[in-house]
């Protein structure tokens, strides 16, 4: 598995992919939601980027982009001296793999997790914050933690896709459906980035987040909070098996082409056809996942 980037480096990637301009506001909570981490590591990363001259901080207002972040070498994470390794993220994947392999007990204590993975107190809290926010562990009443039984088997992963197959196409048919042109343009840019080589070079986290953002953006266009919250919940807890399914990336080029077709139809106002295209895309993905189900097993 590729080395995961630090939170600061991921924020730099976000600034680039979103095409943010000087003066753009970077709300800490929005970044925490997008990167699926707590506010604490986000604030630390924002402070570091301020020290590097990437951001400026205004009292009572937060952080704003202070310089252009293009694709030049001078603006790269390496040139900025950002650590590309993130211990908490590395341990996160070890815990996820151990859980899927059945080598972790269903119930566990913070002391057990800290000792097993040789974590500092700060690393332990960052890890627990992330896995609890993503829905695959929760604190027990009184003492200790328990892992969720959701989405830790190939069957449960396929079930999550069948739920999405039922909901996502229907979201496009909601009365008053509208996808903001700027959001649509960002989704299209993300797909073109993948087709231009990102499929091979993006980290597992980045690849997963781009897919999640595409599908959540489509559902958010419905304005229906029940659709939106259900899909967000499913996406949070399906990450574990989603990461493992990415060991086979050959299917992603076809995914990108299908995503672009859906975006084109939405842009043209052909929502019924877009819904059909999205249903076909999800059905095709479900069929392909059945073929690689062996990758999802311990």
pLDDT, average across residues 252-256: 90
pLDDT, average across residues 260-265: 98
pLDDT at 133 > cutoff 50: yes
pLDDT at 150 > cutoff 70: no
pLDDT tens per residue, range 158-190? 788 899 999 999 999 999 999 999 999 989 998
- Among 66-80, 151-165, 225-239, the least confident range: 66-80
Token output for 153? 């088997």
Main-chain phi, psi angles of 57, to 5 degrees: -110, 130
% of the chain surpassing 90 pLDDT: 33
Ordered structural domains, the chain, with CATH: 7-75 (1.10.10.10), 87-147 (1.10.10.10), 154-296 (1.20.120.530)
% of the chain surpassing 70 pLDDT: 80
pLDDT of residue 295: 47
pLDDT of residue 148: 76
pLDDT of residue 296: 47
Per the document, the length of the chain is: 298
**Conformation bin of residue 57: beta by default, left when phi > 0, alpha when psi is -120 to 50:** beta
Q: Are 272 and 171 in contact (CB under 8 A)?
A: no
pLDDT at 205 > cutoff 60: yes
pLDDT tens per residue, range 101-110? 778 888 999 9
pLDDT at 79 > cutoff 70: no
Token output for 105? 């007990």
Determine whether 42 is exposed, middle or buried from the number of CB atoms within 10 Å of its CB (0-12, 13-18, 19+). buried
Q: Which residues lie below 8 Å from residue 78, measured CB to CB, with a gap of 6+? A: 84
pLDDT tens per residue, range 48-75? 888 888 899 998 889 999 987 766 544 4
Q: Give the CA angle between residues 107, 87, 152 to the nearest 5°.
A: 35
pLDDT of residue 20: 87
Based on C-alpha coordinates, what's the Rg of the chain?
Answer: 20
Minimal CA–CA distance to 93: which of 53, 134, 121? Answer: 134
pLDDT, average across residues 229-256: 76
More confident site: 197 or 202: 197
pTM of the predicted model, to two decimals? 0.60
């Amino acid at each position: 598995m590729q080395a995961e980037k630090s939170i600061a480096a991921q924020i730099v990637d976000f600034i680039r992919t979103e095409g943010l301009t000087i003066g753009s506001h970077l709300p800490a909570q929005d970044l925490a939601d997008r990167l699926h981490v707590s506010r604490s590591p986000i604030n630390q990363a924002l402070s570091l980027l301020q020290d590097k001259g990437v951001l400026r901080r205004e009292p009572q207002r937060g952080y704003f982009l202070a310089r252009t972040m293009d694709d030049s070498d001078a603006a790269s994470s390496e040139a900025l001296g950002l650590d590309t390794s993130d211990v908490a993220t590395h341990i996160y994947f070890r815990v996820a793999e151990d859980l899927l392999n059945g080598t972790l007990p269903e119930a566990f204590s913070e002391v057990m997790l800290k000792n097993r993975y040789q974590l500092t107190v700060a690393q332990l809290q960052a890890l627990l914050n992330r896995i609890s926010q993503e829905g695959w562990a929760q604190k027990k009443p009184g003492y200790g933690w328990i892992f969720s039984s959701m989405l830790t088997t190939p069957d449960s992963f396929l079930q999550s896709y069948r739920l999405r197959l039922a909901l996502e196409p229907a979201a496009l048919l909601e009365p008053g459906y509208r996808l903001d042109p700027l959001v649509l343009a960002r989704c299209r840019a993300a797909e073109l980035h993948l087709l231009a080589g990102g499929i091979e070079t993006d980290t597992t986290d980045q690849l997963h987040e781009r897919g999640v953002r595409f599908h959540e953006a489509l559902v958010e266009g419905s304005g229906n909070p029940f659709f939106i919250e259900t899909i967000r919940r499913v996406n949070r807890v399906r990450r574990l098996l989603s990461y493992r399914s990415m060991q086979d990336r050959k299917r992603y080029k076809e995914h990108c082409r299908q995503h672009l077709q859906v975006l084109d139809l939405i842009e043209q106002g052909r929502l019924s056809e877009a819904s059909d295209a999205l249903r076909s895309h999800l059905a095709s993905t479900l069929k392909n996942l059945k073929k690689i189900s062996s990758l999802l097993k311990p």
